[in-house]
């Protein structure tokens, strides 16, 4: 069955926000009482999933909503510093011009998404679900499918984290792993994503 709906994660998939995240990480760690990191260790962190990273820095699950809110607030102040990955505007436009519906499911806030994407790119997005826990995306994916009138067999979720893959699998939704995000492609391969995209240009394979 052809892919009618392409759902994207945002941070690490459309937006190159990892440098910003690393730049403010220790500020947030001091505020909420978990361990600082050395940004030079970022390549190592890319091989850890979200649960492993939380354990590594001593961040209990009950603090996660507060910590996420702090990151989102700081990003709101610095949204102008966060670019889209090169080629993302062209890829979104190509998919939309070919008749694919586009949506975003992200734990970031909608206003941050709108600021970073910009008006022209936002006009291509049919539906956004935002502000949920990184572990709570399955329900928002389900709502996205319902709102857009799309069956799981006609859609794909594109992301960079194991939590994205887990959410897609909960709905029997295909998952496409990107190689340029927070999580490394090597860390996702053992989970057997349905598709891999080694570069932004390869997103045009969704037109096949």
Average model confidence (pLDDT) for the chain? Answer: 93
Question: Which pLDDT does position 44 carry in this prediction?
Answer: 83
pLDDT computed for residue 152 by the predictor: 97
pLDDT beyond 70 at 67? yes
C-beta of residue 116 within 8 angstroms of C-beta of residue 15: yes
pTM above 0.85, yes or no: yes
Q: Where are the domains of the chain?
A: 5-16+83-207, 18-81
Is the pLDDT confidence value at 86 over 90?
A: yes
Give me the mean pLDDT over the 64-87 stretch: 91
- Residue-wise pLDDT tens digits, 109-154: 999 999 999 999 999 999 999 999 889 999 999 999 999 999 999 9
What are the CA-CA distances from residue 142 to residues 92, 160, 161 (Å)?
Answer: 22, 19, 18
Rounded to whole angstroms, how far apart are CA atoms 65 and 131? 10
pLDDT surpasses 70 at 59: yes
Locate all alpha helices (DSSP H) within the chain, ordered by sequence: 18-32, 42-45, 50-57, 64-77, 88-97, 110-117, 119-122, 137-148, 162-170, 185-188
Residue 40 confidence (pLDDT):
86
The fold adopted by the segment(s) 5-16+83-207 is: Rossmann fold (3.40.50)
Cβ(131)–Cβ(114) below 8 Å? no
Q: In the predicted model, what is the mean pLDDT of residues 164-175? A: 97
Exposure string over 32-68, b if 16+ CB within 10 A, otherwise e: eebeebeeeeeeebbebbbeeebeeeebeeeebeebb
pLDDT band at 1 (very low <50, low <70, confident <90, very high): low
Residue 205 pLDDT exceeds 70: yes
Strand pairing report for 174-178 and 155-159: parallel
Distance CA(188)–CA(165), nearest Å, equals 8
């Amino acid at each position: 069955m052809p892919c009618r709906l392409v759902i994207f994660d945002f941070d690490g998939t459309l937006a190159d926000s990892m440098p910003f995240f690393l730049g403010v990480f220790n500020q947030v760690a001091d505020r909420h009482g978990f361990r600082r990191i050395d940004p030079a260790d970022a390549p190592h962190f890319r091989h850890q999933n979200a649960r492993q990273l939380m354990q590594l820095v001593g961040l209990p699950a009950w603090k996660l909503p507060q910590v996420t809110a702090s990151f989102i607030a700081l990003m709101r102040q610095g949204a102008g510093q966060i670019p889209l990955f090169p080629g993302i505007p062209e890829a979104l436009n190509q998919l939309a011009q070919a008749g694919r519906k586009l949506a975003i499911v992200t734990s970031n806030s909608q206003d941050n998404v709108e600021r970073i994407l910009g008006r022209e790119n936002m006009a291509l997005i049919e539906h956004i679900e935002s502000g949920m826990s990184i572990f709570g995306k399955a329900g928002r994916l389900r709502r996205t499918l319902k709102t857009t009138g799309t069956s799981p067999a006609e859609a794909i979720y594109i992301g960079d984290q194991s939590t994205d893959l887990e959410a897609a699998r909960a709905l029997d939704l295909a998952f496409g792993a990107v190689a340029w995000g927070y999580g490394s492609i090597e860390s996702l391969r053992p989970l057997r994503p349905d598709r891999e995209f080694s570069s932004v240009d390869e997103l045009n394979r969704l037109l096949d």
